[in-house]
């Protein structure tokens, strides 16, 4: 694994694999440009080195011709141009005459963005299947490859792993290096007390991370719907709250293995899932649905968070898409923001919640990779790192 600073990039034609997989609304406006902003450091560094820059990215999944209308990188080119205050040459294809012409005319400090690499998935899963010929083609476009797409680092696709087999030199960009600088110490040598906060919908999504982090953390605070499977495993009534019955045995096993797991002691409940008419309860009854952690739980979690030196958080504390049930998640943001701990958030929904609630700058690190950060913390080796 080479670092970008250790390569001579002066005047080179560099291909940067970025992660511009941003959410778009129905009018194709970018809802959250965090991933574009986070990629600027590597792009600016290459501009300073007088590079010719070719950007590759995917956006969403492309399964049919119609997807091409809503998954184009054109709106990203516009936003990137605004952020860099510089023209970006957007090529509306990944391969073909337009690309060849643009690459043959490219000059130092020019930036070319090719269309969504996954458009080629329609020609036989070429990008996502890491097709050899496509990998060679991507490699032929430049001299040096920089992988800066952390959100994709757990996948082996042509534009992030395949390409590195056929190009002379490859390295990791600043965004990926920053992610690794924050995330790797968590599984290697965290500062103690190390508090892990887990929430979100499903235990089943988080088994790997629970198993791995339980051995490293001092406390595991579990909120969100996930906590009801654990509470039920302890024989506590959770009413009609979301429970994964198939994972009760796993929860029992974890609870037996360790006393590091801290569970909610009160809940914001409703009678119907769509109701906003909530009440706080310590003990649920058969017809209650828990949609957020309650004030006593917030205080309980606070007492552990305030003792910590390292915090890793994944998964919202409640049904945060509804403002009424954002309180738990917001309070946890606020409590963490007042500590001096190293604080890291990973996970698509939790990172979005932290950013939307205005706490992005209060955390040491907000990961740009949901699945990627989880797989890294599960202890899996990630193909995009070993290029
Ligand atoms: P992340 O993307 O951060 O890893 P998840 O995808 O695991 O998080 O979980 C996010 C989802 O969990 C959200 O849609 C949220 O509404 C849901 N959720 C959290 N707590 C509850 C709850 N008590 N009841 C229902 N859904 C919940
Ligand atoms: Mg999610």
Q: What is the CA radius of gyration of the chain?
A: 23
Strand partners, 157: none
Q: Is the pLDDT of residue 370 over 90?
A: no
Cα–Cα nearest to 228, from 254, 199, 253, 257: 199
Which of 205, 209, 210, 225 is the pocket-test mutation for ligand 1 (most atoms within 8 Å of CB)? Answer: 225
> For 8-34, what is each residue's pLDDT tens digit?
999 999 999 999 999 999 999 999 898
Q: What are phi and psi of 137, to 5 degrees?
A: -60, -50
> Is residue 1 scored above 90 in pLDDT?
no
Q: What is the per-residue pLDDT across 328-351, written as a single tens digit (0 to 9) for each?
A: 999 999 999 999 999 999 988 999
- Predicted pLDDT at 81: 98
- CA-206 nearest atom, ligand 1: 7
* Average pLDDT of the segment spanning 321-327: 96
Measured in angstroms, how far is the CA atom of residue 349 from the centroid of ligand 2?
5
**Cβ proximity of 24 and 75 under 8 Å:** yes
Q: Does the C-beta of 326 come closer than 6 Å to ligand 1?
A: no
Q: How does pLDDT run across 142-175, given as a tens digit for each residue?
A: 999 999 999 999 999 999 999 999 999 999 999 9
Query: Is ligand 1 within 6 A of the CB of residue 369?
Result: no
Question: Distance, CA 289 to ligand 1 centroid (Å)?
Answer: 14
Cβ neighbors of 45 (< 8 A, separation 6 or more) are: 4, 9, 174
Listed residues: CB within 5 A of ion ligand 2: 348-349
pLDDT (average), residues 355-383 = 93
Q: 């988080």: which residue's tokens?
A: 206
Cβ–ligand 1 distance for 349 under 6 Å, the answer yes
Q: Does ligand 1 have an atom closer than 6 angstroms to the CB of 370?
A: yes
Q: pLDDT grade, residue 217 (50/70/90)? A: very high
Supply the residue whose CA is at minimum distance from atom 27 of ligand 1. Answer: 319
318 in contact with ligand 1, CB cutoff 6 A: yes
- Candidate of 151, 154, 224, 345 to mutate for ligand 1, largest count of ligand atoms within 8 Å of Cβ: 224
Q: Is the pLDDT of residue 293 over 90?
A: yes
Chain segment 61-106, per-residue pLDDT in tens? 999 999 999 999 999 999 999 999 999 999 999 999 999 999 999 9
- 126-147: burial string, b at 16+ Cβ within 10 Å, e else: bbbebbeebbebbbebbbbbbb
Q: Which residues contact 158 (CB under 8 A, 6 or more apart)?
A: 117, 120, 126, 127, 129, 130, 131, 134, 135, 138
Average pLDDT, the chain: 96
Residue range 223-232, pLDDT digits in tens: 999 999 999 9
Active site residues: 35, 202, 348, 371
């Amino acid at each position: 694994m080479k670092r970008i600073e250790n390569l001579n990039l002066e005047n080179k034609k560099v291909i940067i694999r970025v992660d511009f997989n941003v959410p778009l609304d129905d009018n194709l406006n970018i809802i959250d440009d965090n991933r574009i902003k986070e990629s600027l450091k590597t792009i600016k560094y290459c501009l300073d080195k007088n590079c010719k820059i070719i950007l590759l990215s995917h956006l969403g999944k492309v399964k049919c011709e119609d997807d091409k209308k809503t998954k184009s990188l054109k709106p990203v080119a516009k936003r990137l141009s605004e952020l860099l205050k510089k023209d970006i040459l957007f090529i509306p294809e990944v391969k073909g005459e337009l690309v060849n012409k643009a690459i043959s005319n490219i000059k130092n400090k020019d930036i070319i963005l090719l269309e969504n690499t996954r458009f080629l998935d329609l020609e036989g899963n070429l990008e996502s299947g890491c097709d050899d010929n496509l990998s060679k083609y991507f490699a032929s476009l430049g001299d040096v490859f920089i992988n800066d797409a952390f959100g994709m680092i757990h996948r082996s696709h042509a534009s992030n792993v395949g390409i590195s087999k056929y190009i002379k030199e490859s390295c990791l960009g600043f965004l990926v290096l920053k992610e690794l600088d924050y995330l790797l110490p968590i599984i290697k040598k965290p500062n103690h007390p190390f508090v892990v906060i887990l929430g979100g919908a499903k235990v089943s999504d988080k088994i790997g991370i629970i198993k791995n982090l339980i051995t490293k953390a001092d406390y595991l605070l579990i909120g969100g719907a996930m906590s009801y499977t654990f509470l039920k495993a302890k024989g506590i009534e959770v009413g009609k709250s979301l429970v994964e019955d198939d994972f009760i045995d796993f929860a029992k096993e974890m609870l037996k293995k360790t006393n590091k797991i801290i569970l909610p002691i009160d809940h914001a409940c409703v009678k119907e899932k769509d109701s906003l008419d909530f009440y706080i309860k310590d003990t649920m009854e058969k017809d209650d649905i828990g949609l957020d952690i309650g004030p006593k739980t917030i205080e309980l979690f606070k007492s552990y968070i305030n003792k910590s030196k390292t915090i890793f958080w994944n998964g919202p504390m409640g049904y945060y898409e509804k403002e009424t049930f954002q309180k738990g998640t917001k309070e946890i943001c606020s409590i963490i923001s007042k500590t001096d701990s190293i604080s890291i958030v990973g996970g698509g929904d939790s990172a979005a919640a932290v950013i939307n609630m205005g706490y992005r700058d209060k955390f040491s690190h907000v990961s740009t990779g949901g699945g990627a950060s989880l797989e890294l913390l599960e202890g899996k080796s990630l193909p995009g790192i070993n290029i």
